[in-house]
Structure 1
């Protein structure tokens, strides 16, 4: 019988850890939408003024809707889709049909300014999050590599320098689903030093029953937390140090034959019950200076994560094949940015002003994987009467890169903005790929390729405010996704090339009814070349590698609306349509895919 995954009965308690004060007269309640500020263009601005499609999900929205993951917050963003398995590490976003493999994402998540260069670390449990922004369309002119489909910008709550505040929430539901999350923050020294802490634990039983043992197969549990220190010695300087971490212990992938699942949903048969473990540690340091003419900021990020998987690769009750997969990654990123002061644009003439920003970004990434397929006797060959382990392969991928970007915004009489920007990126990638068997039934194959990649991503936008609350805009932008090496692939397919796209977008944003309603509509076209696609490895069960198809194109529209007719009632709505097809000459692993629908390029989202 079909079972609804989780219906929750929530017991929620919010605690204000503030000093008791005499009650005061309540201020009047105004029925208007709350002000929204986004950093989709690397500096704070009103999204209604920006020539880009962006949906902001605030802390208030996350709390009231009981959203605990990035993919759940994505419900508010049209033309956004997350391809997920039960395990937290597998959550791959797609915007307007654009996405990719976790090892080379097409939509990059930024957590407090730090890009998640591998999507395995991007789907975090939400705790002490201030806002999540879903920015759709190529953002390569500012964010560089792997922002071809857009970015997800996640920012943490800022510790309070004034009062002690906190929150605690503890819902419980069926399947023994329990969740506890809390935050506390406040000043340590006057209005110069503050601390913020967030913590949580989430767990549930599996939805899918293993008929061999009677156990739930795809359970989940995670312990997570975040700590912050905010130092503001004066009005101009600010430093903020953060450390976040997560320890997830999830169950196996609930995969089964499609016909069997249709006959008996949430049932499977396994002789081995596997697991998916993930550990993440991510320290980040922000330093900023706000001057009268120039602003300066740096973001330093360290990220270390490790995943371990064990799964029954034959997905049956027979002891045939299992897989052990271990992945580890360490990345270091550094970005320095200069910009014109928030209220100090360069005045070029009485009617023309210029805002500008320049930045430098550098990174290193070290990734290792050891995917081991364990075959029982006689499975790999009728002549092999002993168990065999295949490392397919044991790999190490090293990457380092540099990006330089700039953007200029020319404002004409406060009604017309013309934005010109570009970014240049250069990367050097090396790989060590070692494929072998234990015992050695065949010679080992060792490859050590290396390659350089370089690209320039321009962007041109125009935004015109027809009236103060209505903006019409158009954007032309080039997107870029880096090439690289596959950690696992058949011979001859170790490397894949860069992917590029041109994006054309036009839209309207408006606010009405005394700011009780905001709405936006956008139409777009995307032309890809050398599309990176996931291709099944014919030599290794359930393993995929990245290859290049010739091209693709996508067209679509999207609409979203937010209204507050009453102080206690918010209404949200959105719709999207995407039509994505491969172009003439496109092949995937030698198979003609001309005119085929792009994977997850859904026509209605």
Structure 2
């Protein structure tokens, strides 16, 4: 469906994607046709480069959503967490601190810390980002965002099993002097100031600078959920000769505030053999309304009192008090370049890049007393591609090099237990790839792609596990040490131990021992001995591993007419294995995915209607999932497991209809059946030797079997369960209406999105589903015809839906949820010059 592109911007296109302030013309072209009455009529066509070549979105024979920079501004997309407004198949779950989970059609993982990798590849300006924890600078002066669905096993860098997100900024323009400023203010005392300038530096060089600062109060009544962000980007573009051009880019960003907030939903309390338990042996005690009401927060007096009076954390069994308030102080910067060389019928593209991130954040999610991350990551990468055409064959060859080092010190304080991690990881990935498109006829093409990946990685790490163990036995029930303090919050073991009063260690502090490991009497001595013990156990990990894999793609494309494209493809994906800082689960294996896709992209009625259809079937094996659990020593840990296999199948439809010269209707629907065919893992049994069978059972909604070999544990089986973040049905529908009232144009926009219930918690608890939700956004945009000013009034989440984005159990089995933003509204004013 390779229709010609006609330059210019028709009046009717303003409804679909009005050019962003300073937007380059690469984003959009106009596919226009002339009706029988002579009227120019047609929908806008976004230009994408997802297949490493420029083509319209309608001509890209792949599963992809794309949005222009202006669409992102109108939808309020300032970072990746809000991208599901333009890509319904994508879910981005903001975790504690800088941890963010990406899922496409149920394929993804919960967090991307210093030693895990995302299943959805995040690319900024053509550069794969190994630690996609900050996306603020990514969405500054954006040209477009592309969301690719399904494995990207040939053209893309590491680990794109679920898909890829490409964020492409506006590039400098030669010979153009322009700029823009905008200011936005809304509820939660939220403000944003953004500016951009494009300036020629002679005939062959151009400079582009952009910056933004935004700040808001917390969405939660305890003040959490606040943000204070800064982002800057500078670019220089130069045409060094008729055959060579160079673009160099540098960006810097910071994220401060509290980060995401948490809502307390309830507590799972141990009630052995209670027939009325929510799950076997565990009763969910729902928090009162003034605690669990959406956007209340963990730090309200009512929530803290509820936890203190309802929950205790084993093995100390002391009141849960002293939650540390969250904070963020994270910094990111990077340098990258793009060199394009015309070698005479062959094009060479070289993309070198360097990125640096420094994390310093403290958070509570899931409800820990405190989790602290202090990580530094450095990444070098280089990609080179040659492409050309030889007769009916269009070809591309490339190579990729990625080298990353992450050093970090983390602690995860769960009151009675705390894990202190220090680690140094190094990953080196090499790949060679190629793709060939062979035009058998003017309308029929065969596509083949191949990629060879070679990854080596190593880790040197130590985990110090501290457990405060109550020895005071009561006549009935669990032990209790209400007068002993829980573990103080500190980044390192010594930081926490130094905060204990010396008198708590009648036989000497661990700090006075030659090495602070072993079991130390803790608290006053009683008739039977010490009240409690402080047990400190080190786990040392020094490992190296490697993976080599060939992934490939085969496809056929057929232009049924100049306006109708049909395609079918098969593609494989691979995500390398990795390491965990935990005993008995030190490594996990690679995961693999196979994807079949049948699609059709169509334009009808002089390109006034675009209708796209896709059917997909994915087979996933060796699936990696990262979540909280118990290691083989019974210590709490966050680690990745290979849990089994899943099948993902469904259909998706999206459309755009230019109902009149000034009326646009757009929408889509997805049916998704994502099921775990095999989802099994093992968890240690912490019950005592004399306890009856199935006594201290796992807190899970899955089935399980108690086993004694190789150690006493539970084999947990979640097979048959739906995949995480995989609603059965998703719908979206929107309308934009423009009124041309001289001397003022007014555009009204209304968008609605429905998502069916989905699982948002790893444990499949009956209380851990999101429920269905329907959200609406509305805006009114005023544009005077005589002056370059835009004024927009907006309301997002008009229905004020409280939508849970995660559900997790933390210390003391306190259940909590993170939420998508509540209703927000405001005024945005922009000026171009």
Measured in 1, the distance between the counterparts of 2:21 and 2:102 equals 34
Query: RMSD of aligned C-alpha atoms?
Result: 2.5
- Asked if the contact 1:186/1:194 (under 8 Å) is kept, the reply is yes
1:283 aligns with 2:335: yes
- Runs (5+) with no aligned partner, structure 1: 1-12, 18-27, 211-215, 348-352, 381-388
Per the alignment, residue 107 of structure 2 pairs with 98
1:135 aligns with 2:159: no
Deviation (angstroms), 1:123: 5.9
1:242 aligns with 2:249: yes
Measured in 2, the distance between the counterparts of 1:532 and 1:156 equals 32
Shift of the 287–61 alpha-carbon distance from structure 1 to 2, 3 Å rule, reads same
Shift of the 312–68 alpha-carbon distance from structure 1 to 2, 3 Å rule, reads closer
1:181 aligns with 2:194: yes
Per the alignment, residue 358 of structure 1 pairs with 397
Measured in 2, the distance between the counterparts of 1:577 and 1:29 equals 38
Per the alignment, residue 597 of structure 1 pairs with 722
1:260 aligns with 2:287: yes
Deviation (angstroms), 1:519: 1.8
Per the alignment, residue 429 of structure 1 pairs with 457
Measured in 1, the distance between the counterparts of 2:366 and 2:251 equals 37
Measured in 2, the distance between the counterparts of 1:91 and 1:432 equals 24
Partner of residue 90 from structure 2, selected from 80, 103, 108: 80
1:229 aligns with 2:273: no
- Asked if the contact 1:333/1:363 (under 8 Å) is kept, the reply is yes
- Asked if the contact 1:31/1:566 (under 8 Å) is kept, the reply is no
1:520 aligns with 2:612: yes
Measured in 2, the distance between the counterparts of 1:375 and 1:573 equals 45
TM-score, normalised relative to structure 2:
0.63
Per the alignment, residue 581 of structure 1 pairs with 675
1:547 aligns with 2:672: no
- Asked if the contact 2:45/2:58 (under 8 Å) is kept, the reply is no
| Paired positions, count | 550
Measured in 2, the distance between the counterparts of 1:261 and 1:232 equals 65
Per the alignment, residue 473 of structure 1 pairs with 567
- Asked if the contact 1:470/1:511 (under 8 Å) is kept, the reply is yes
Segment of structure 1 superposing worse, 536-545 or 357-366: 536-545
Per the alignment, residue 378 of structure 2 pairs with 330
Deviation (angstroms), 1:313: 7.1
1:304 aligns with 2:348: no
Query: In the TM superposition, what are the counterparts of 1:156-555 in structure 2 within 5 Å?
Result: 156-190=169-203, 192-210=204-222, 216-258=223-265, 259-260=286-287, 263-270=292-299, 271=322, 272-312=324-364, 315=367, 321-340=369-388, 345-347=389-391, 353-374=392-413, 379-380=416-417, 390-391=419-420, 393-436=421-464, 437-438=493-494, 439=511, 440-441=516-517, 442-486=536-580, 488=581, 490-538=582-630, 543-555=637-649
- Asked if the contact 2:381/2:400 (under 8 Å) is kept, the reply is yes
Measured in 1, the distance between the counterparts of 2:412 and 2:645 equals 34
Structure 1 residue matching 2:117: 3-state secondary structure: coil
Segment of structure 1 superposing worse, 561-570 or 292-301: 561-570
- Runs (5+) with no aligned partner, structure 2: 1-18, 24-37, 266-285, 300-321, 465-492, 495-510, 518-535, 684-714, 731-833
Per the alignment, residue 3 of structure 1 pairs with none
Deviation (angstroms), 1:404: 0.3
TM-score, normalised relative to structure 1:
0.86
Measured in 1, the distance between the counterparts of 2:673 and 2:726 equals 7
Structure 1 residue matching 2:195: 3-state secondary structure: strand
Shift of the 15–54 alpha-carbon distance from structure 1 to 2, 3 Å rule, reads closer
After superposition, the C-alpha distances for 1:451-479 in whole angstroms (9 at most, x for unaligned) are 01111001100011111110111010111
Measured in 1, the distance between the counterparts of 2:671 and 2:636 equals 31
Measured in 2, the distance between the counterparts of 1:601 and 1:475 equals 23
Structure 1 residue matching 2:71: 3-state secondary structure: helix
Deviation (angstroms), 1:569: 4.0
- Asked if the contact 1:112/1:156 (under 8 Å) is kept, the reply is yes
Per the alignment, residue 120 of structure 1 pairs with 133
Measured in 2, the distance between the counterparts of 1:105 and 1:14 equals 30
Segment of structure 1 superposing worse, 415-424 or 155-164: 155-164
Shift of the 70–513 alpha-carbon distance from structure 1 to 2, 3 Å rule, reads farther
Measured in 1, the distance between the counterparts of 2:132 and 2:239 equals 33
Shift of the 77–16 alpha-carbon distance from structure 1 to 2, 3 Å rule, reads closer
Structure 2 residue matching 1:48: 3-state secondary structure: helix
Q: Could you say which structure has the larger radius of gyration?
A: 2
Measured in 1, the distance between the counterparts of 2:537 and 2:620 equals 40
Deviation (angstroms), 1:426: 0.3
Measured in 1, the distance between the counterparts of 2:628 and 2:166 equals 31
After superposition, the C-alpha distances for 1:250-273 in whole angstroms (9 at most, x for unaligned) are 205422421438643222343432
